[in-house]
Amino acid sequence: MIFALATPVARSAIAVFRASGEGCCDVFNKALNKPIDEYRKVFLRDVFLGDILVDRCSVVFYSAPKSYTGEDSVEVFCHGGLSVIRSLSDVFHSLGFNDAGPGEFSKIAFENGKLSLNEAEAVADLIHSEDVDRGILSSKAVAGKLSELVVDMGKQIDELRVFIEGSIDFSDEDYDFVVEGNVMDRLLNIKNGLVSLIDSSLVSSKKLTQNRVLLFGPPNTGKSSLFNRILGFERALVSNIPGTTRDLVDSEIFYNSVNMELVDSAGIRSTDDLVESKGVVLSGNEIEECDLVLLILDHQTEGLLKEFKLKIKNKDFLSVFNKSDELKPREQYNCVVSAKNGHGVAALKDLIIERLGKNKDLGKTYLIRERHLVLFESALSSINSSIEKISKNINFDVAAEDLRVARSSFDEFLGVKYPDHLLGDIFRDFCIGK
């Protein structure tokens, strides 16, 4: 039997524990003031650690196989105080439950046939999705839509292999299995469907979810003040002394359904200060790693606009004029703001979201991993090889083997078969409690 806290370890209104394993419901009943004898219903119960009342909780029991893991399962909704969370953990330990590892619940669900391997991976992608669009793509995979599509292509390949192998086994018969089975047209349909699937899929990677936005420019143009204003709280040290920011300061912000990482940097100038000069080097290096640069200038540094555009090179950027409360700009900028009074900051945030959106791959249907892309491309290569042989009416035995290899790629995608190391590689990236 295993258990885990399924919500973050932090003070909150509610915390959720989940447990799984044969007989776990009967075992957990021992900690309740009144046993539960019905499943899939919510009951209010006092939970005890020995004779000590821990909390009054909502408790739900699930019986195998009608649960997320396919095993007997328990979910406990308690108050989110840190002392309550600690005491409830002690309750589970006292009853003989072991701590779950990362992704162990989803791994059990996969092993019990409750999820395909792709669906289990999509659960992790959904949890880690940092914007609504990517979450929607992950949800489709969690719901099984992608798995259904791949399963169907696999079944079609099996049907076509029957005709191809029939033409080999009964080659002396007056019957053309390939023609009668409409093999070529059906193979081309499978190929086109697979090509469409690959083209309409977004490959998940850390780079795609960063949305790093760098505030860049000369010193003392108000980058740190603007950084704090965009965040809505004081995160970076602010001073009118040039060179105050000597390192990269970053913080996450969620705005209009998009998660981004805002990075404040040292002002770019020549300096003899060793620490400040290292910060300047870091700022320059960060340009290559970010998705968007905000070039911040003011009325004293407007003459450096062209020079700093060259420093940014080919990186996407927005030119921003700060301190508009003091003087108006002489040049044209993408946005004019005042970090002091907040003028134009909302418009700047909207511009950032718009520009980040343009940098994304749009019109995608599914979110897939590199592993999936490799398998799909391998299957496509095998199908193309089979089509070539059948069209030339040669090597039908090899053409049948090509289709077997394609089907094998689909099976590995679904988790019907997989290398020994694969499950460990996948589930170690999951959250504890999932």
344 is in an annotated binding site: no
Confirm or deny that 33 is annotated as ligand binding.
Answer: no
- Give the C-alpha separation, 306 to 304, whole Å: 6
| Residue 18: predicted pLDDT | 94
Q: Which of 169-178, 269-278, 380-389 has the highest mean pLDDT?
A: 380-389
Work out the angle at residue 112's Cα, subtended by the Cα atoms of residues 106 and 118, and round it to the nearest 5 degrees: 50
Instruction: Say what the pLDDT of residue 302 is.
Output: 87
pLDDT tens column, 31-77: 999 999 999 999 999 999 999 999 999 999 999 999 999 999 999 99
Place of tokens 């002396």: 172
Pairing mode, strands 366-368 and 335-336: unpaired
Q: What percent of the chain has pLDDT over 70?
A: 74
241 is in an annotated binding site: yes
Please work out, in degrees rounded to the nearest 5, the angle formed at the alpha carbon of residue 127 by the alpha carbons of 227 and 21.
145
Averaged confidence pLDDT in the chain: 79
Amino acid at 110: F
Q: Is 391 annotated as a binding residue?
A: no
Is the predicted pLDDT of residue 358 greater than 90, yes or no? no
What is the pLDDT, as a whole number, of residue 70?
A: 93
Name the pLDDT band for 89 (thresholds 50, 70, 90).
very high
**Is 322 annotated as contributing to ligand binding?**
no
Burial of 195 (0-12, 13-18, 19+ CB in 10 A): middle
Half-sphere exposure of 100 (CA within 13 A, CB side): 27
At residue 77's C-alpha, the angle toward residues 74 and 78, to 5°, is 130
147 is known to lie in a ligand binding site: no
pLDDT digits (tens, 9 = 90+) for 154-183: 989 888 887 887 676 665 566 566 767 788
Residue 3: what pLDDT?
A: 95
Q: How far is CA 251 from the centre of its chain?
A: 19
Give per-residue pLDDT as tens, 392-415: 888 888 888 899 999 999 888 887
Q: Is 224 annotated as a binding residue?
A: yes
Q: Pairing between strand 317-321 and 335-336?
A: parallel
The stretch 414-426 carries a mean pLDDT of 56
Q: How confident is the model at residue 239 (pLDDT cuts 50, 70, 90)?
A: very low
Topology of domain 120-200+366-427 in CATH is: Four Helix Bundle (Hemerythrin (Met), subunit A) (1.20.120)
Helices (H), 170-273: 177-180, 183-199, 206-210, 223-231
d(CA 216, CA 362): 28
> Is 18 annotated as belonging to a binding site?
yes
Q: In the predicted model, what is the mean pLDDT of residues 104-118?
A: 84
Domain with CATH 3.40.50.300 in the chain: 208-358
Per-residue confidence (pLDDT) for residue 248, from 0 to 100:
55
**Predicted pLDDT of residue 201:** 78
Which tops the pLDDT comparison, 90 or 240?
90
Determine whether the annotation assigns residue 273 to a binding site: no
pLDDT at position 228: 86
Q: Decide the pairing of beta strands 73-80 and 98-99.
A: unpaired
Distance, in Å, from the CA atom of 203 to the CA atom of 208, rounded to the nearest integer, reads 8
Instruction: Quote the CA–CA distance of 187 and 157 in Å, as a whole number.
Output: 8
Residue of higher predicted confidence among 287 and 91:
91
**Is 363 labeled as ligand-binding?**
no
pLDDT at 282 over 50: no
Task: Tell me the sheet residues that pair with 254.
Answer: 259
Contact 164, 396 (CB under 8 A): yes
Beta bridge partners of 335: 320
Identify which has the larger pLDDT, 363 or 270.
363
| 7 belongs to an annotated ligand binding site | no
What is the model's pLDDT at position 132? Answer: 58
Q: Where in the chain do CATH 1.20.120.430 domains reside? A: 120-200+366-427
Question: What proportion of the chain, given as a percentage, has pLDDT over 90?
Answer: 32
Using a 10 angstrom Cβ sphere, with 0-12 exposed, 13-18 middle and 19 or more buried, the burial of residue 315 is middle
Distance from C-alpha of 117 to C-alpha of 427, rounded to nearest angstrom: 10
Answer yes or no: is 225 a known binding residue.
Answer: yes
What number does CATH give the domain 2-100?
3.30.1360.120
CATH 3.40.50.2300 assigned to domain 208-358? The reply is no
- Whose CA is closest to 3, among 128, 105, 78? 105
Q: Is 12 annotated as a binding residue?
A: no
Q: Is 306 annotated as a binding residue?
A: no
Whether residue 93 is predicted with pLDDT greater than 90 in this model: the reply is yes
Give the pLDDT score at 131.
58
Residue type, 312: I
**Cβ–Cβ under 8 Å, residues 245 and 237:** yes
Q: Is 52 annotated as a binding residue?
A: no
